[in-house]
Structure 1
Amino acid sequence: MKLDKKDQQLLNVLQANARTPVSELASMISLSDTPCLRRIKKLEAANVISGYHAAINPKAVGLHVSVYAFVRLNQNSVHAAEQFEQQIAKLAHVLECSVISGSYDYLLKIIAADLESYESFVKHQLGSIAGIANIESTVVLKQAFTNKHLPV
């Protein structure tokens, strides 16, 4: 889908605050309410806007440790990858799972209450997934910033 200037403006405003009322959005991008709402629906239908969510502070809900885990599988096959991805998708503490190049097959972003709970997660949940050859973890000492606003 080709985005025009109005679509880009609309996406930028929605990324900053998805709860902005349509009348305010329309005013901000110099449209009337109905065409603005039509654009939002078009962007949703095209999966440019893939959803809306509340940003929750992890520390406020007791999740103080972020870890990036590099995972290598025993074998490089479509079946092994599909099995791994199906199993990893079931683990609530895994926030992201990316297929990567290099010495490892996957990069996982994992969140936990503390290092002890991360260790337990690795031993009892992640480590129990068949087909994993190696896991290497990197603990985040400080999150300098997170930017979820895409440059559209």
Structure 2
Amino acid sequence: MSDLDKLDRAILGALQADGRMPVARLAETVGLSETPCARRLKRLEQAGYIDRYRAVLSRRALGYGVVGFVSVRFAVHDRALADRFEREVCAIERIVSCHNISGTADYILQIVARDLDDYGTFMRDQLRSLPGVTSVESALSLREVKADGGVPLS
């Protein structure tokens, strides 16, 4: 990140807050004219600082009232088994994030469900039957305090 100057960071921060911002407004926001701003944006995209653009959907508006964080443990640590588990997890839409972690668990998953019954059914019928899973431990979110705000740019 050392090759990013103050204007690059400002562009990234503005886009992180609003990925649909037109270049004209982006340029105005960061204090550049449109052409140099567009060039910088293209350079930042090509250099890989911007992975993709997307809309952040409201899980509540879409009917997902429950968020669970699930620690998943394996009894056998086999690379092929882990690869199968990861492929299957990536194919399940309601698993919104999956991290291979250190500590007592092997993975931590963030899962959305419509309600507690839906969550329980998903745990029983899908999650516990994934390859390699020998135990799961859930923690349900009571209230979201901070959503994914992006990465720090300082």
**TM-score, normalized by length of structure 1?**
0.93
Secondary structure of the equivalent of 2:12?
helix
Identify the residue that residue 148 of structure 1 maps to in structure 2. Answer: 149
Question: C-alpha distance in 2, partners of 1:105/1:111?
Answer: 20
Q: Structure 1 residue 150: deviation in Å? A: 2.3
Identify the residue that residue 30 of structure 2 maps to in structure 1. Answer: 29
Q: Does 92-101 or 124-133 show the bigger shift?
A: 124-133
Q: Could you tell me which runs of 5 or more consecutive residues in structure 2 were left unpaired when the two chains were aligned.
A: none
Secondary structure of the equivalent of 2:67?
strand
Question: C-alpha distance in 2, partners of 1:10/1:130?
Answer: 43
Question: C-alpha distance in 2, partners of 1:11/1:109?
Answer: 26
Alignment map for 1:1-152 (pairs within 5 Å)? 2-152=3-153
Secondary structure of the equivalent of 1:110?
strand
Q: Structure 1 residue 93: deviation in Å? A: 0.5
Q: Could you tell me which runs of 5 or more consecutive residues in structure 1 were left unpaired when the two chains were aligned.
A: none
Secondary structure of the equivalent of 1:111?
strand
Contact 2:7 2:30 in 1 (8 A): yes
Identical aligned residues as a percent: 38
Contact 2:70 2:109 in 1 (8 A): yes
Aligned residues: 152
Alignment deviations for residues 1-45 of structure 1 (CA, whole Å, 9 cap, x no partner): 621111101011111111222112112222221221121122122
Secondary structure of the equivalent of 1:107?
strand
**TM-score, normalized by length of structure 2?**
0.92
Aligned residues: CA RMSD = 1.3
